[in-house]
Amino acid sequence: MRTLASLLTLLLALSALAGAQEKPYFVTYDHTMEETGNLEISWQNTIGLQQQGLPTFYAPFGEFEYGWSGWWTSELYVEGATQAHDSTIFTGWRLENRFKPLNGEHRVNPILYLEYERVSEGSRSNVEVVGHSQPDATSLHDLHGVKSHELEGKLILSSNARGWNISENFILEKNLTEDEGVEFGYALGVYRPLSMIASGSNCRLCRENFTAGMELYGGLGSTQGFGFRDTAHYLAPVLAWRVGKDSTLKLSPGFGLTSNSARMLLRVAYTYEVEGFGAKVKKLFGGRP
């Protein structure tokens, strides 16, 4: 736990250093909101290499993010899971909303986050890590029918300075199906473009098209037992490559820091931005763009 505390201190200290750029985060949120009327489509894949001889799993999910206004962004997730020598299942869906209470850019930008989840206990997406964690050998086939309704809230704090972004998320999650109390978690992230100066040439491998950083995330127990005991934590380098005007590739190997974590969560994602999606839909159905 001393190593984990040192990593937390290091990431928080980087806020003294912390340019909009494509965010490379997989778990942490910054204060970037979707452009009004734009739709971002993302396909994300997580491969989990577990400890204690537990099977490797693969968890794909799709994201559809829409900007209703400059202060309101919504996102729909659909997800599944498959596990070695086990089943392939549809694990559920999530609907999130993010709200930006303050206009403009500030030294610290707060975002309020609210999500409803309808997922099975077989979910392996790890889009957040909360509460306590124990290695689980139960098959996906047996977990598929165990459904839960959950509410999740986040306080997102994010700052940009001198090209750096530093973001802190505090997470609360409540299972409405089971009496588990309220679970807590965190996510910290920092990133920066590899170059703040455009090369002047039209190349995909120019340094300004790459953004790199680090995430640290994990559980903080629950109202039934707050703290680091029996929790999972991950340290994850992150990299985003803007491969085109509207498309980005992202990569992150997340390394487990405790015996309750997976050995590695390898994440890969591709995102595509559809500009003016809302106006196109209105025009298609005879409305004004």
Predicted TM-score (pTM) of the model is 0.88
Q: Please, which pLDDT band fits residue 15 given cuts at 50, 70 and 90?
A: very low
Please report the pLDDT score of residue 252 as a whole number. 97
Task: Establish if 152 belongs to a structural domain.
Answer: yes
CATH number at residue 169: 2.40.160.40
Alpha-carbon span 68 to 34, nearest angstrom: 8
- Whether 261 maps to a domain, the answer reads yes
> pLDDT band for position 200 (50/70/90)?
low
At 81 the pLDDT is 96
Answer whether residue 125 shows pLDDT above 70. yes
pLDDT in the model for residue 288: 57
Residue 123: per-residue pLDDT:
93
Of 270, 269, 266, the closest CA to residue 58 belongs to 266
13 in a structural domain: yes
Confidence category of residue 12, pLDDT binned at 50, 70, 90: very low
Q: Is residue 289 part of a domain?
A: no
Instruction: Please give the structure tokens belonging to residue 53.
Output: 């001889």
140, 89 in Cβ contact below 8 A?
yes
Percent of the chain with pLDDT strictly greater than 90: 71
pLDDT at position 98: 98
Q: Rounded to an integer, what distance in angstroms lies between the CA atom of residue 213 and that of residue 184?
A: 24
The pLDDT score that the predictor gives to residue 152 is: 98
User: Looking at the predicted structure, is the pLDDT value of residue 205 above 70?
Assistant: yes
Domain with 196 in it = 2-284
pLDDT value of position 134: 85
% of the chain residues with pLDDT over 70: 90
**Residue 38: inside a domain:** yes
d(CA 165, CA 171): 19
The pLDDT of residue 8 is above 50: no
Helix (H) or strand (E) holding 146: none
Residue 1 confidence (pLDDT) above 60 = no
Task: Write down the pLDDT at residue 127.
Answer: 93
142, 43, 95, 285: CA torsion to nearest 10: -130
Domain-located, residue 73: yes
Q: How far is CA 183 from the centre of its chain?
A: 17
Banded pLDDT at 289 (limits 50, 70, 90)? low
Mean pLDDT for the stretch of residues 120-125: 92
- The total of structural domains in the chain comes to 1
pLDDT band at residue 173 using 50, 70 and 90 as cut-offs:
very high
Residue 17 clears pLDDT 50, i.e. is over it? no
The C-alpha atoms of residue 26 and residue 47 are separated, in whole angstroms, by 13
- pLDDT, tens digit, 9 for 90 and up, residues 51-60: 988 999 999 9
Averaged pLDDT for residues 97-126: 95
Could you give the C-alpha distances from 37 to 21, 101, 115, 273, in angstroms and in order? 19, 19, 21, 11
Q: Of 11-20, 191-200, 259-268, which range is least confident? A: 11-20
Burial category of 62 from C-beta neighbours within 10 Å (exposed 0-12, middle 13-18, buried 19 and up): middle
Band of the pLDDT at 287, cuts 50, 70, 90?
Answer: low
Look at residue 159 and tell me if it is in a domain.
Answer: yes
* Closest of 262, 178, 190 to residue 219, by C-alpha: 262
